[in-house]
Amino acid sequence: MKKRTLGKSGPEVSAIGLGCMGMSHGYLPLPDKKEMKNLIHKAVDMGITFFDTAEVYGPFINEELVGDALSSLRDKVVIATKFGIYIDANGKQGQDSRPETIKRSVEGSLKRLKTDCIDLYYQHRVDPNVPIEEVAETVKGLIKEGKVKYFGLSEPGVNTIRRAHAVQPVAAVQSEYSIWWRDLEEEIIPTLEELGIGLVPFSPLGKGYLTGKIDEKTQFEKSDFRNILPRFTAAARKTNNAIVDILNHTAIRKKTAPAQIALSWILAQKSWIVPIPGTTKLSRLEENIGSVNIELSPEELNEINTASLSIKIEGNRYPEELEKRCRL
């Protein structure tokens, strides 16, 4: 497995990581816990060293799964988790990044992950009610205490990144990035490059859409969160098939899968970008890992970029309420 370093000062990790959210949150039906532990072990065997979870996934049970699976392999892996989002009694998400909440959250995450130090600790979403300087100062204290190694932010705006980085260096920013969601290219990626911060794209396969296995006829389970996403209406899926056609065109020529082209495209953008595709299937894990060894030529990259930028993707990625929490 090839390795990459997250920015100038972040950890060295496998060139792609494994997003663990779907193993116990978001996509139904949920898979068997024992099978997911075995899948995580297989990932380590195949060279994956970077695993992503969060306090709110489940909530809590995803951290427990990751902790159980990796406790005996702790010295071989880098674990990232997140604080700052909770689910209230009505099932709605709220935000709380007050210093006292972060300090309480880290203790819970350490216990569930069965570790004495979290490698990469992200603020899950920027909390508009707590100055980012307070958040960064709190995590800085946790780093001094040895409970956290690196500070990260998820879905922040440029101003937040700069303000946080001035207090405690930010090792990595986690945000959605893929061939069908390229908003980061205008401001975020240039800022990360300037400051020496790594990028960890979540949903690099468009929540499964870029695999080519989803079309307008696909029926999701009733509680699958993609049912509320504007980009996943049947009409949007039909229109957006054009982006999958581009990936398929290159995949056929290179005798590989469209998902591998989508991931290799991301890997070709910057050497400090480490995508974290999630999966619950061994075949998909093997396919994702295989993307690390696919080389896209400058001509192929130019062809993909030219074609994809000419397509207007239909549907916002989140409902308006959720989108407001991003890029603060």
Distances (CA, A) of 118 to 54, 65, 158: 11, 15, 25
Six-digit token pair at 271? 């050497």
| Amino acid (one-letter) located at 221 | E
CA–CA separation, 137 and 173 (whole Å): 17
- Which phi and psi (to 5°) does residue 167 adopt? -95, -50
Nearest to 154 by CA among 121, 187, 116, 111: 121
Catalytic residue, chosen from 27, 57, 122, 209, is 57
CA 217 to chain centre: 27
Distance CA 154, CA 172 (A): 9
- Max CA pair span of the chain: 54
- Alpha-carbon distances, residue 312 vs 1, 226, 230, 235 (angstroms): 35, 20, 14, 14
Residue 132 CA from chain centroid, whole number: 21
Report which secondary-structure segment, H or E, holds 39.
helix 33-45
State in Å, rounded, how far the first CA of the chain is from the last one. Answer: 35
Which stretches does DSSP call E strand in the chain?
Answer: 3-5, 12-14, 18-19, 50-52, 78-83, 85-87, 93-95, 118-123, 148-154, 170-176, 198-202
User: What is the DSSP track for 146-193?
Assistant: TSEEEEEEES--HHHHHHHHHHS-EEEEEEE-BTTB-GGGTTHHHHHH
Tokens found for residue 69: 């699976």
- Is 57 designated active site? yes
Which DSSP symbol is given to 326?
S
Q: Which two tokens stand for residue 178?
A: 């893929």
Catalytic (active-site) positions: 57
